Structure 1
Amino acid sequence: MTTLEGMSRAELDKKEAGDFALGKGPLRPRDAATLILLDRSGREPRVLMGKRASRHAFMPGKFVFPGGRTDPTDSRVPVAASLHPDVERRLMGLGRKATPARARAIALSAIRETYEEAGLLIGDKTEFATAKDGWQAFSEHSVAPNLSKLRFVARAITPPGRVRRFDTRFLTAWRDDVAVALPEGPTLELEELSWLTFAEARKADLPSITMTILADLEKRLQDDPELSPEQPTPFYRMLHNRFQRQLI
């Protein structure tokens, strides 16, 4: 059992009081995407993390992976290669909004947010053009986003009672998939960007859900170093007043 699994709403509120601004928030969580970049060049894998500014209501001052809210129109951005079918199916999730376009938007949002927050363009060096906002750097540097190597490793829905709620899909890519590395991202939303081993990351000031997913990912890498796309994915959410983990 993880540190969060099985907690009641009251227990989770107390544990996460420093991670989120508590209060009456939206009833329906918004789609969001996070990209966990993995560097396997050394003896131990490392992950890219940065510190959120203290002014944010959502996870202020915490170390997190690059990510943010999904823009549905990202689904219209051309790509060098599409999602693996198993990844697409799991990203589609459950319910009436389960469509390939939604899965594509989530994946592309993760790539766009990684550029905006970390200055890293993930994809293939080839001709690329789009007028879509947020993708100009990909056109300027001739990088077409490549979705085929993304892996879906976790999903988590922010519990009720927070001023921000997100239905976040956590994806991974390898550092080798970065086609162009710029000095910094244009939004400056993440500070102190660092490549950390899992042991180093555990010592950082992490949100509870980030710590939980980091532990899941470390275990999966030990059992499945290539992160096979057909493997089940943990899904965290509040059900029947308990924070539950199920595999999807």
Structure 2
Amino acid sequence: MDGMIRADIEKVERSAAVLGTRPIRPRDAATLALLDRKGDEFLVLMGRRHAGHAFMPGKFVFPGGRTDPADSHIPVATALHPKDEAGLTAGLGRTNPARARAIALSAIRETYEEAGLLIGRKGALATSRRDWQGFVEHGVRPSLDALRFVARAITPPNRVRRFDTRFFGAWRSDVAVELPDGGPTNELEELVWLPLAKAREADVPDITRMVLEELERRLADDPLLLPGGSVPFYRSVRNRFVREIL
């Protein structure tokens, strides 16, 4: 583990103050780092959370949120790439393929809700799920093979809110429809495309900065972001926040 990674982990540890006394089971969540390329530079989509939010107010984040298990029933144009599905179902906890599918679909849904970007392919979609009516109206079937599993992080214990978050990467070219006024929830008050280095310098949560650094390293070796790359996993082990590789 290099010095920068170790220092970042220690910073997260210091910020993980004990805010609760009752153990809280982390909830599944997903977030999406949508990437674009301009010449030799990689850009990432970030959004600023409203200052009035109780969780991470005013911070720049990737679109994302909690997973709804019902997302696993949404019809898709393409399934997860087998290598990325294998990464999602491996490691700590029992993540079966249906749960992995729901987690991946929630990243696509949240990107629509918060940023107005529908990732998938043009085609009729039929579902009664209210959260997916934007895809129905615009004729987009979500494409899971566009997603790359790039990181996982579990909030340290004894926090008021805990999430088991899977971070995905995808390309802007995988967006089938881009709504001009953003997403319907308006949870992000400012959406910007930033070079990865500048995104790290923005007011972002510590774990987001760490994932941005991981993305920079991976893209340096794998500029196409191919399936099956190594996935860093951040979690607490015996009261220490550690980085492992899935």
Under TM normalisation by the shorter chain, which class is it? over 0.9
Separation of aligned partners in 1, 2:152 and 2:200: 20
- TM-score scaled to structure 1, two decimals? 0.92
Separation of aligned partners in 1, 2:189 and 2:58: 9
Q: Which amino acid aligns with 2:88?
A: L
Partner of 1:143: 140
- TM-score scaled to structure 2, two decimals? 0.93
Question: 8 Å contact 1:26–1:165 — kept in the other structure?
Answer: no
Q: How does 1:1-248 map to 2 (within 5 A)?
A: 1=2, 2=5, 3-5=7-9, 7=10, 12-15=12-15, 22-24=19-21, 27-94=24-91, 97-182=94-179, 183-248=181-246
Q: Which amino acid aligns with 2:90?
A: G
TM-fit CA distance, 1:162: 1.6
The secondary structure found in structure 2 opposite 1:237 is strand
Length, aligned pairs only: 241
Distance of aligned partners of 1:206 and 1:129 in 2 relative to their CA distance in 1, 3 Å threshold = same
Distance of aligned partners of 1:196 and 1:136 in 2 relative to their CA distance in 1, 3 Å threshold = same
Q: Which amino acid aligns with 1:32?
A: A
Question: 8 Å contact 2:13–2:240 — kept in the other structure?
Answer: no
Larger helix share, 1 or 2:
2
Separation of aligned partners in 2, 1:141 and 1:90: 31
TM-fit CA distance, 1:126: 1.4
Identity over the aligned pairs, expressed in percent? 62
Task: Kindly provide the CA deviation profile for residues 189-243 of structure 1, in whole angstroms up to 9, marking residues without a partner as x.
Answer: 1111100001221221011111111001001000111122122200000101111
Q: Which amino acid aligns with 2:53?
A: H
What is the RMSD of the two structures over their aligned residues, measured on CA atoms? Answer: 1.7
Separation of aligned partners in 2, 1:42 and 1:120: 23
Tell me, which stretches of 5 or more residues in structure 1 are unaligned?
none
Q: Which amino acid aligns with 2:149?
A: F
* Bigger mean CA deviation after superposition, 115-124 or 40-49: 40-49
